[in-house]
Structure 1
């Protein structure tokens, strides 16, 4: 007698908006359930993700319309996406471009297609003509789909995705508009030697006598944060996908990262007392949370607090590097990024970092790539942004 196997068809995919606190919790924690056990994936803290995504905590909600969606197969959530209409972005770009973000799904093309189609329809109903992404939840936050580097060490504020996701997005009619590169710089005695300031280029002396530097002061961090925001907005205004950072966004960021910061983490370069360049590094939160899971036990929280108090980090990320537009195209303007990095690394010799990540850097930003690749020949991670033109909504 021959056995006959029967297989029930998979439940259809249904995409529904997030409307309850219970679904919001599912949305925030979903990636660590989807990606558990995949090579290279390390779950972030749920608390960190809630700060990023909870409408009551995420400052981008003050100027953006955002709708979260979950994809379901039966009673099981299998994917998520955010549809984003950022009014500050529309104003700055002078074009009605919407965005998608927080795109995570089981590696199945039909789930990704259903999520993207839902986000597209939501945006088309708001007269959006093009969709770009992913960002979480703005270009000033986590950006891009990871397409290379899944097995690299995780880094703060850098999203992780399975390798298949890139192809699934492109199958839905999305074209690549930017690649975002990250470089891993090992801080060996040999590399640190390269950060010595060349003779005659010492800040505050000789040809650079009108150039001075400032460090981070926790007593003045609010004022320094506003200076940083203005300088960042000026320095990055010409970059692709840039959206001006609002004062309340900077205040929220400073509040979130203040427990991680030390004076050595920030370099501000002034010319005759006026800020002209900056560089900022953040310790890699994954170094002290990576083995604790998304929801630590009481013992896990104790370990986290001890590691944070004693700065038990092994790596860090240069998250900001920019020069005022007033010096763009000048010799000093070309020199300042290298000097800022050099000063940052010089100060960082007292910190325990074994390597730093430079990134992300736009693949088309030749000047920054040349600076990074003078230290590290090749990027170790690549994230990707996509765009798609939307046909008019039938509801419009």
Structure 2
């Protein structure tokens, strides 16, 4: 979502289910920083928390500006009866979470912060401490999927309990999109900061990402009843294109993005889920083998796993089994309001 739409309450429906406040810091009649405070009412109701969030904190390298902006949100949150401020965290986990604390020289990916080290230093000096970390794995793409992946995939497909879905066009994808969101709502409830997707959320995500989604890197599994039971979504790294279009995807930025996606050697993973009753059956291996094969055929050399909770040991073990190493770390902070 470009920033004009994101900050416009008339076009961003997330404002309707949240309390928000926004502030600019000025010096000598020039803006020197910004911040947004959010109380995500639906999430607080679901979890029993009384958290406010800070998001979109951007400044020059000036400690006093950072402290002033954070103090503004803290006072606002306290006046609304909140117990803590957490962040950086926006309306939902579908938007950037956590400041980078490791990997500052690595290539940025969509939906993640790319701050400098001083931002973390200033934040911690304001009394903020770790809430949780997300890690990114860099996974090399082999010439062929590992033999174990091939063996497990062949066994699963022979049993005919499941079938692998692969796509060559957006038209083929569309009939499954609603089931993808329903599976997210069913399986993401325990994920930090996840708020169940409404129909408006779903429509917004389709509008934002479908124009740049490459169907070759969407893998799904359906059961014998044609129910979606797992999926994984990757996209070629589009950072170069986003720089060229300055974050404006529509109407013309999409051409810069698609050109960059054809040149990159990196595939970024974004979303994935397996229905609870189908876990432990090898569906992750089935989709992983298919994704590695498609990525290698397209000329990719590496995969960025995107955000994985550091406590999600099952996913982390799978990444490491595929040869992945942690090369970025992002941290969500929290501060109690005394």
Which TM-score band (shorter chain)? Answer: 0.7 to 0.9
* Contact 1:101–1:135, Cα closer than 8 Å, also in 2: yes
Partner residue, 1:73: 27
Partner residue, 1:294: 246
Partner residue, 1:148: 102
Q: CA deviation at 1:267?
A: 1.4
SS of equivalent residue, structure 2 residue 307? strand
* Contact 2:239–2:260, Cα closer than 8 Å, also in 1: no
Aligned with residue 128 of structure 2, among 174, 185, 196: 174
Give the paired residue count.
332
Q: For structure 2, which runs of at least 5 residues remain unmatched after alignment?
A: none
Q: For structure 1, which runs of at least 5 residues remain unmatched after alignment?
A: 1-46, 392-396
Partner residue, 2:197: 245
Looking at structure 2, the residues matched to 327 and 247 of structure 1 have their Cα atoms a distance apart, in angstroms, of: 26
Looking at structure 2, the residues matched to 350 and 197 of structure 1 have their Cα atoms a distance apart, in angstroms, of: 17
Give the TM-score normalised by the residue count of structure 2.
0.88
Aligned with residue 278 of structure 1, among 216, 222, 231: 231
Partner residue, 1:231: 183
Looking at structure 2, the residues matched to 148 and 219 of structure 1 have their Cα atoms a distance apart, in angstroms, of: 39
Residue 356 in structure 1 maps to residue 310 in structure 2:
no
Query: CA offsets, 1:119-143, max 9 Å, x none?
Result: 1122222222222111234222111
Structure 1 segment 372-391 matched on structure 2, within 5 A:
372-391=319-338
Change (3 A) 1:66 1:73: same
Q: CA deviation at 1:82?
A: 0.8
* Contact 2:234–2:267, Cα closer than 8 Å, also in 1: yes
* Contact 1:100–1:135, Cα closer than 8 Å, also in 2: yes
Query: CA offsets, 1:11-46, max 9 Å, x none?
Result: xxxxxxxxxxxxxxxxxxxxxxxxxxxxxxxxxxxx
Looking at structure 2, the residues matched to 376 and 199 of structure 1 have their Cα atoms a distance apart, in angstroms, of: 18
Query: CA offsets, 1:170-224, max 9 Å, x none?
Result: 22222201111111223352xx432773325426533x42011223552365542
Partner residue, 2:112: 158
Residue 258 in structure 1 maps to residue 210 in structure 2:
yes
Change (3 A) 1:199 1:193: closer
Looking at structure 2, the residues matched to 180 and 98 of structure 1 have their Cα atoms a distance apart, in angstroms, of: 20
Query: CA offsets, 1:255-297, max 9 Å, x none?
Result: 111121232121121222222211011222213343x36389x
Change (3 A) 1:185 1:295: closer
Looking at structure 1, the residues matched to 174 and 145 of structure 2 have their Cα atoms a distance apart, in angstroms, of: 34
Residue 341 in structure 1 maps to residue 288 in structure 2:
yes
Residue 211 in structure 1 maps to residue 162 in structure 2:
yes
Looking at structure 1, the residues matched to 78 and 64 of structure 2 have their Cα atoms a distance apart, in angstroms, of: 21
Residue 308 in structure 1 maps to residue 261 in structure 2:
no
Runs of 4+ in 1 over 4 A off after TM superposition: 220-223
Partner residue, 2:52: 98
Looking at structure 1, the residues matched to 39 and 122 of structure 2 have their Cα atoms a distance apart, in angstroms, of: 23
Deviates more, 1:352-361 or 1:84-93: 352-361
SS of equivalent residue, structure 2 residue 111? coil
Looking at structure 1, the residues matched to 256 and 26 of structure 2 have their Cα atoms a distance apart, in angstroms, of: 40
Which structure exhibits the higher relative contact order, with contacts defined as CA atoms closer than 8 Å and separated by 6 or more residues?
A: 2
CA RMSD in angstroms comes to: 2.6
Looking at structure 1, the residues matched to 283 and 41 of structure 2 have their Cα atoms a distance apart, in angstroms, of: 33
Change (3 A) 1:183 1:59: farther
* Contact 1:215–1:267, Cα closer than 8 Å, also in 2: yes
Structure ID, larger Rg? 1
* Contact 2:142–2:292, Cα closer than 8 Å, also in 1: no
